[in-house]
Structures are given as C-alpha cells and as structure tokens.
C-alpha cells in the first residue's frame, strides 16, 4: 500500500514511525514531513499541510492508496472531502464532522443534544452581552474563542477583570482573527486532565490507552500554555471503571449524535477530559490525533496501524480488538529558549545518535537542514525524546538519559514529566 501522511511535526513523525512498521506498507510519503521522518520515508517539503489542493494533487500524482491527515486545519477546511471527491481514501473526519474541534460552540451543542457531561456554558457573538454575563457570574470562568486558535484561544480567568480582558482581546481586538468573534464562556472544571484518543468508523468507537499532556511551559505546571511539553501513557488514575464511564457517557453518545446528524465521524476522536469529583467531563474535543500524546500512545499499540485504519474506513471497527503492550511510554519535549514566546531558529543540533544509543526514540517536531546540510532548530518545540519501559519510572529514566545527550543552544525542557503519576 502507498500511504501519504499529511503534516510535519512530532505527531506525524510518530504516525509515520508506526505506519512504516505495518506489513501492508510499500511506500510511505509525508508532506511536508521533516528531517527525522526523511530518514525512512519520502518527504515533500514543498507541499504545506494546509494546502488542500496541493495535497490532493500530490496524492493523485503519487498514486496514493491511503492518506492519513495529522493536523486540524486541513481537516477543518475539507481535505478529506476533497480527497473523497478525487476517489482517494483518507483517514480523518470530513469538514462537517471536524467541526467538533473547529467550533467550540458546535461541540457544546452536540454534547448538549447527546447528554454528554461537560462544563456548563453560554455562547456569545455580542461583546456587551458577553460582558453582562461575566458581570452576573463573578468567580472563575473560562473564556474560549469559538474557532481554531492554535491552542491559544482559551483563557482560564480568576474573576471579572481578567474575563473582561479576555473578551476584549478575542471579540474587540481580534486577537484570534475570525476565530474569536464568537466566544464560549464556561465554568471551571477541577480535577486531573487526561487525553483519550479513540478510533472511530462512524458508529463504533474504541479507546486507546489514556495519556496525560503537560501544557504549561514550566515545572510544577507554571507559566504560559504551550503545544505540550511532554506526555506519558497509560495514566494510572484512568482506571477501567473511568474508561467504562467515558465510553458509555461520552464517546458512544457523541459518535451516535454526529451520525444522527448525517455527519458521521471517521477518524481519531480526541477527548480532552477532566476527571472531576462528579465523574469524567469533556473539556474539549479534537478531531485528530493529539500532539504529543500520539508520541506515547502509538508506541504502545500492538495492532498494525494500517489494519486498524482500514477497518475504520470499511466500517468494521467492531471486528478489531485493540491491544496495547503492558508497558509505559514517556516523551519529553525539547523546546527552543523563549518558547512559547519569541525564539531563535537555525541553531545547530547535536547528539542525536548518542541519544538514540540510550534506547530512546527521537521524534522531530521543529527541525530542518540548513544550506550547509546541518540539522538545526526550526520551531518552538524541536524534538520529542520518547522511551518505553516496564514501568513509567523506567520509561522516564530512559527518556531523560536521551534528553541529556541532545545538544542545542538554550534548549528548555521540563524535568517533571510524569511525576504526578509516580
Ligand atoms: P482547550 O483548548 O479547550 O483544550 O483548553 C486549553 C486548556 O485550558 C485545557 O487543556 C485546560 O487545561 C484548560 N481548560 C479549558 N476549559 C476548561 C474548563 N472548563 N475548566 C478548567 N480548565 C479548562
Ligand atoms: N496535546 C493537545 C493537543 O494535541 O491538542
């Protein structure tokens, strides 16, 4: 089978790393890809992940049998729909189903219709009305831009003044462009946050092992939010009883509601959950694999990825039993100094071979070759250092041994990945 993976970050590196192990793979292409992926697959750096027409054209030209879409933007703008029109099989939701991520107001509406537990909320397109609501609800609130804002559209606000600022930024100052014209205001949920990725064929939904992300840049969950500074799986407090509740009260009703609306969700549904004292509640849905969660979940998946995806596309996921290695996986992200704010690019990276000799696996996120062919930094999150082990402690030891060997100027990382689970 000829496969094309769309994207070029750590998530796509992990998807490619898993796909190349499939007994069905003949050729693996990734667009745009990255230098780490380029070691074992064909990369197409000239085709951006967001270039829908360019991706369809590439898939057609290469005679691709299956496309796997990584990031949210091309899903939201209809890449899977465009591929279907061109007669090319693609794993990922249509634009209509991807609205579960692309519009937080739509996600809330689906959850309300399906009776899925989530934070209570209100939706506003009018600034004065939103402000009046905030003033009538003093106390902590969460203000969210409705649309895609690259993970930056959410502000957890301690009180009215902070909420007013968040509303002004989104609705008046246009901080998130069109994505913030409409906002969702919701109650603050308290508990442990976990990420559950699930395969769906539109009717059946099956969970992968749960993972925990570390969104704040600083140790002890301090500082600004990032795309994710590390993750581990499985999560010890995500017990079989919790998984069962999530299956019955969250995943199955959501998939059924999307099917009932005539927009079945085929792809990876990502439920961001808060394990509250009243049980698991949805913080957000994403319409794709998580990053960095995918970097720890796929290394534990025993099934052939392309077989699971094929079953989803054929509507026979019910026949598949997902199996996971009885081990733990951890990934530590190495980021550029200054991230998630401004940072320098083009700094030479060394020590990758030595890092891999420890037994760790490196997933590239923001790397590039410069004009002299030297591997350099090219993004905020540069590399994920992943390791597996019989226990979480063993996986973390190995990952951190790898981290110690990777060199680039000013690298930052968190030393406390997975600590709360130990
Ligand atoms: P989202 O983009 O919706 O995942 O929000 C980003 C982050 O904000 C989440 O991962 C949570 O840590 C936090 N967050 C969002 N909504 C809530 C909520 N209702 N209560 C508490 N924290 C939240
Ligand atoms: N790790 C969070 C995300 O992928 O959105």
257 lines ligand 2 (CB under 6 A): no
214 lines ligand 1 (CB under 6 A): no
Q: What is the mean pLDDT of the chain?
A: 95
Which DSSP helix (H) or strand (E) runs through 41?
A: none
The answer to whether 148 and 76 have CB atoms below 8 angstroms apart is yes
- Paired with 335 in beta bridges are 381, 412
Question: Among the CATH numbers 3.20.190.10, 3.40.50.20, 3.60.21.10, 3.40.190.10, which is that of 2-94?
Answer: 3.40.50.20
Confidence band for 125, pLDDT divided at 50, 70 and 90? confident
Confidence band for 139, pLDDT divided at 50, 70 and 90? confident
Poorest-confidence range of 73-77, 225-229, 256-260, 354-358? 225-229
Given this model, what pLDDT does residue 77 score? 97
Given this model, what pLDDT does residue 182 score? 84
Boundaries of every domain in the chain: 2-94, 126-181, 192-319, 328-405
The ligand 1 atom nearest the CA atom of 190: 21
* Alpha helix positions (H), 142-204: 160-167
293 lines ligand 2 (CB under 6 A): yes
**Which among 157, 119, 118, 155 has a CA at the least distance from the CA of 138?**
157
Given this model, what pLDDT does residue 303 score? 98
Q: How far is CA 225 from CA 73, 77, 95, 336, in A?
A: 20, 25, 27, 15
Q: How far is CA 357 from CA 334, 354, 384, 402, in A?
A: 18, 5, 15, 8
pLDDT at 66 over 90: yes
pLDDT at 376 over 90: yes
The ligand 2 atom nearest the CA atom of 289: 4
Looking at the structure, give the CATH architecture of the domain made up of residues 192-319: 2-Layer Sandwich (3.30)
Greater pLDDT, 180 or 356: 356
The 10s digit of each residue's pLDDT in 145-202 is 888 877 678 888 888 888 888 888 888 787 777 776 888 889 999 999 999 999 999 9
Integer Cα distance of 399 and 299 in angstroms = 13
Residue 196 Cα to ligand 1 middle (Å): 15
Q: Which DSSP symbol is given to 350?
A: B
Residues 6+ apart with CB under 8 A from 371: none
Given this model, what pLDDT does residue 193 score? 95
Mean pLDDT computed over 66-87 = 98
188 lines ligand 1 (CB under 6 A): yes
Pocket test for ligand 1, best of 103, 120, 147, 156 (most atoms within 8 A of CB): 156
Poorest-confidence range of 112-126, 188-202, 235-249, 308-322? 112-126
Integer Cα distance of 297 and 290 in angstroms = 10
Q: Which fold has domain 328-405?
A: 3.90.600
Residue for token pair 């409705």: 146
Using a cut of 0.75, tell me whether the model's pTM lies above it: yes
263 lines ligand 2 (CB under 6 A): no
Integer Cα distance of 119 and 116 in angstroms = 10
pLDDT at 133 over 90: no
Integer Cα distance of 329 and 363 in angstroms = 13
As a whole number of Å, the end-to-end CA separation of the chain is: 41
Which DSSP helix (H) or strand (E) runs through 185?
A: strand 183-186
Confidence band for 241, pLDDT divided at 50, 70 and 90? very high
Residues 6+ apart with CB under 8 A from 257: 110, 113, 114
Residue for token pair 């099934």: 303
Residue 198 Cα to ligand 2 middle (Å): 14
213 lines ligand 2 (CB under 6 A): yes
Phi-psi region of 267 (alpha: psi -120 to 50; beta: other; left: phi over 0): left
284 lines ligand 1 (CB under 6 A): yes
**Which among 151, 305, 140 has a CA at the least distance from the CA of 217?**
151
Q: Which fold has domain 126-181?
A: Dna Ligase; domain 1 (3.30.1490)
């Amino acid at each position: 089978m000829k496969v094309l993976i769309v994207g070029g970050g750590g998530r796509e590196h992990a998807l490619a790393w898993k796909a190349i192990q499939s007994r069905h793979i003949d050729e693996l292409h990734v667009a745009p890809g990255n230098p780490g992926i380029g070691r074992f697959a064909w990369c197409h750096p000239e085709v951006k992940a967001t270039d829908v027409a360019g991706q369809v054209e590439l898939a057609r030209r290469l005679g691709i049998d299956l496309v796997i879409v990584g990031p949210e933007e091309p899903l939201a703008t209809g890449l899977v729909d465009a591929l279907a029109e061109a007669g090319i099989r693609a794993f990922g939701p249509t634009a209509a189903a991807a609205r579960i991520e692309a519009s937080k107001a739509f996600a809330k509406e689906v959850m309300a219709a399906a009776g899925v537990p989530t934070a209570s909320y209100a939706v506003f397109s009018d600034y004065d009305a939103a402000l009046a609501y905030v003033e009538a609800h003093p106390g902590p609130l969460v203000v969210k831009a409705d649309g895609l804002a690259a993970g930056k559209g959410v502000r957890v606000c301690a009180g009215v003044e902070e909420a007013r600022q968040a509303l002004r930024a989104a609705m008046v100052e246009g901080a998130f462009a069109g994505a913030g014209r409409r906002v969702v205001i919701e109650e603050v949920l308290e508990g442990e946050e976990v990420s559950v990725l699930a395969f769906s064929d539109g009717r059946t939904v099956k969970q992968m092992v749960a993972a925990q992300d570390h969104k704040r840049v600083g140790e002890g969950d301090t500082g600004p939010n990032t795309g994710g500074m590390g993750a581990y799986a499985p999560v010890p407090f995500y017990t079989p009883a919790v998984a069962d509740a999530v299956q019955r009260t969250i995943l199955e009703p959501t998939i059924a509601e999307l099917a009932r609306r005539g927009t079945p969700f085929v792809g990876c549904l990502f439920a961001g959950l808060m394990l509250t004292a009243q049980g698991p509640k949805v913080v957000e849905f994403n319409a794709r694999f998580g990053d960095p969660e995918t970097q720890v979940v796929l290394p534990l998946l025993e099934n052939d990825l392309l077989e699971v995806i094929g079953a989803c596309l054929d509507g026979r996921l019910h026949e598949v039993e997902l199996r996971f290695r009885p081990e733990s996986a951890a990934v530590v992200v190495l980021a550029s100094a200054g991230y998630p704010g401004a940072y320098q690019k083009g700094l030479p990276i060394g020590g990758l071979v030595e890092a891999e000799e420890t037994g760790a696996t490196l997933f590239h996120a923001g790397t590039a070759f410069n004009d002299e062919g030297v591997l350099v930094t090219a993004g905020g999150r540069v590399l994920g250092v992943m390791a597996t082990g019989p226990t979480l402690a063993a996986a973390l030891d190995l990952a951190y041994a790898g981290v110690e060997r990777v060199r680039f100027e000013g690298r930052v990382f968190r030393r406390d990945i997975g600590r709360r689970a130990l």
